[in-house]
Structure 1
Amino acid sequence: MKSKHVSYDEESLKVLKAIANKHRLEILRILSVRPHNVNELAEKLNLPFSTTATNVKKLEDVQLISTELVPGRGTQKVNAKNYDRIILDLFEKEKEINDKQFFIDMPIGDYFDCYVQPNCGLVGEKSYIGMQDDPRAFYEPGRKEAQLLFMRHGFVEYRFQNKIPYGAKVKEIEVAAELCSEAPNHKLDWPSDITVWINGIEVGTWTSPSDFGGERGFLTPSWWHTNYTQYGMLKRWKITHEGCFIDGNNIIDTVNIDQLELEKHPFISIKIGIKEDADNKGGFNLFGHKFGNYEQGIHLTLDV
């Protein structure tokens, strides 16, 4: 399923203007079934040929549909859709990376260590990886292809290459991931306290309100049933000299970036999990590039 992302720029505004019309939306719906020529579209829309052709041209101009010449009774122009979904990104774009900033996008299946208890599982783009509700699946050779992992209790730990230049000091570190709670199938009222540790130091707990399901995630493949978990929320843990923040809110002011000792190790450990003494032990789902609503794994950004 091919998606087009639009956000805050002039090109995206043109796309939004193009689809802000009931006839053009209907054209896209019709073309989602199969390609049509303008005559066929005009007949189905009960519109004049000229009006239909104008609407087709506006959708072509923003590359939502394409037109090609195909043999028929002579040669005719046939219109086809280019995308299955149009996604409006309302979240803040990633900061532009400069020579004093280092960024890594870690696949969710590329964890270094884990402790897993059912219900649990690894899911690839096209099928499960190993057996569902079997912690042994988390040691499958194919685990690196995971696009969704979930567990009722436990953790996964990632080790990122330390790209900090020798002699440099880190000003801030940010970890971003798409997460939610983990309930059987899904449950909208299912809080879970999800904690992140960096180099073994706790840097903040976020209480997920829900195991989101019932409505398909933008990237979630069609074979994955909608009564299962579908998407999460994009959460950002940031640690600076002032303390630890989640989505810009100061969570811990007794831990700062110096205590993480990022410059002293060949790797940076990021652990995500449920604490033994958590108030809400609702598990967690972690989404990869091809599941959920955000096309990413675990993002690590360092500012020096």
Structure 2
Amino acid sequence: MRTLNLKFEDALEVSKAISNKHRMSILRLLSERPHNVNELSERLDLPFSTTAVNVKKLEDVGLITTELLPGRGTQKVNTKKYDQIVIDIGPQDTKKDERVVIYDMPVGEYVDCYVEPSCGLVSVEDYIGMHDDPRSFYERDRINAELIFFKAGFIEYRFPNRLPYGSKPEQLEFSTEICSEAPLYKTDWPSDITVWVNGVEIGTWTSPSDFGGERGFLTPDWWLTNHTQYGLLKNWKISEDGFFLDGVKITSEKNINDLDIRDKPFISFKIGVKTDAVNKGGLNLFGSKFGNYEQGIVMKLRYDDKEQS
């Protein structure tokens, strides 16, 4: 039996997610076997849009997973992750949980870039500047971008360094929604996407697709479904044990101490596709109002607040 053990302070979002009869019914159905959203919609006698929103909420809190499987084309199939949930309501060390800095960076607030067409920036209402014109990336309205795409190059963000003086950084995480960039969209379109933090290369992930054809949960109605719609939420973690991508160790040859976080006024996050990448399939970067995840680029910095000798 697969059990999800939650600390008291982590249980609120999961409790909110399951305090809904439709979501509980979805979990029951997924206990039988995996289903896609159409199947769940039919069995629950609910509109597709209502079912999709409820599936998304369960996915966001980690109770189910969604994967792309071949079938009649490519379809998204939902699977239950746990058989039971256990919440620890005993005394907690709240001080430890306060030692974290969280910052959600809007995707339009980058500080540097170099991009090659096809490229563009999109707000919730329209394109920003001209499509396929790198000059548009320097327009003042770029801060309103909710979707950024380019074939090759990079885009860099600088997060404020809020590490308290005298503290030691223990773990740094970044998460963002991304996918490949193809003309319109293409499910079989790999792209090698690389991340750097404070100038140190963290690792490369090969995105399998440029996802389209089915509207993202947050994607504006005016944006045509034959264009990119959503991506995958990826997580990079840097600790004293090495570098990780979605919980899988990439390398242990370098660690968080190589980032010199205490010596810099900002924390740089750069993401892009190298000119010599094997799979030069571009990059789509989604903001909080495009795609499937209501966030920009989220940074989490955990630290030890004791002075280190």
Which TM-score band applies after superposition, normalised by the shorter structure?
0.7 to 0.9
Residues 201-246 of structure 1 show CA distances to partners (whole Å, capped at 9, x for unaligned) of 0011111000000100010011101110000000000011111000
Tell me whether 1:89 sits opposite 2:58 in the alignment.
yes
Tell me whether 1:12 sits opposite 2:11 in the alignment.
no
Residue 250 of structure 2: SS of its match in structure 1? strand
Corresponding position of 2:176: 177
Corresponding position of 2:256: 257
Tell me whether 1:232 sits opposite 2:266 in the alignment.
no
Q: How many residue pairs align between the two structures? A: 246
CA distance in structure 1 between the aligned counterparts of 2:186 and 2:253, rounded to whole angstroms: 35
CA distance in structure 1 between the aligned counterparts of 2:225 and 2:249, rounded to whole angstroms: 35
CA distance in structure 2 between the aligned counterparts of 1:192 and 1:105, rounded to whole angstroms: 25
- Runs of 5+ in structure 2 lacking a partner? 1-11, 27-39, 63-93, 304-309
Distance 1:279 1:263, change over 3 A: same
Corresponding position of 1:277: 276
Residues 27-77 of structure 1 show CA distances to partners (whole Å, capped at 9, x for unaligned) of x65xx9xxxxxxxxxxxxxxxxxxxxxxxxxxxxxxx9xxxxxxxxxxxxx
Counterpart mapping for 1:76-155 below 5 A:
85-86=53-54, 87-92=56-61, 98-155=97-154
Deviation of the 1:276 alpha carbon: 2.5
* Larger Cα-atom Rg: 1
Corresponding position of 2:285: 286
CA distance in structure 2 between the aligned counterparts of 1:115 and 1:234, rounded to whole angstroms: 23
CA contact (8 A) 1:7 1:88 kept: no
CA distance in structure 2 between the aligned counterparts of 1:198 and 1:278, rounded to whole angstroms: 19
In percent, how many aligned pairs have the same letter? 53
CA contact (8 A) 1:232 1:287 kept: yes
Deviation of the 1:169 alpha carbon: 0.7
1:144 corresponds to which letter in structure 2?
I
1:136 corresponds to which letter in structure 2?
R
Instruction: Report the TM-score when normalising by structure 1.
Output: 0.75
CA contact (8 A) 2:179 2:210 kept: yes
CA contact (8 A) 1:7 1:90 kept: no
CA contact (8 A) 2:23 2:58 kept: no
CA contact (8 A) 2:17 2:58 kept: no
Deviation of the 1:275 alpha carbon: 1.6
Distance 1:92 1:274, change over 3 A: same
Residue 9 of structure 1: SS of its match in structure 2? helix
Distance 1:181 1:22, change over 3 A: closer
Residue 20 of structure 2: SS of its match in structure 1? helix
Q: CA RMSD in A?
A: 2.7
CA distance in structure 2 between the aligned counterparts of 1:283 and 1:252, rounded to whole angstroms: 24
Deviation of the 1:85 alpha carbon: 4.2
Corresponding position of 1:46: none
CA distance in structure 1 between the aligned counterparts of 2:115 and 2:42, rounded to whole angstroms: 51
CA distance in structure 1 between the aligned counterparts of 2:286 and 2:41, rounded to whole angstroms: 34
> Which deviates the most, 274-283 or 168-177?
274-283
CA distance in structure 1 between the aligned counterparts of 2:233 and 2:19, rounded to whole angstroms: 24
CA distance in structure 2 between the aligned counterparts of 1:174 and 1:156, rounded to whole angstroms: 18
CA distance in structure 2 between the aligned counterparts of 1:216 and 1:11, rounded to whole angstroms: 22
CA contact (8 A) 2:210 2:231 kept: yes
Deviation of the 1:9 alpha carbon: 2.0
Residue 142 of structure 2: SS of its match in structure 1? helix
Corresponding position of 2:31: none
CA distance in structure 2 between the aligned counterparts of 1:159 and 1:141, rounded to whole angstroms: 18
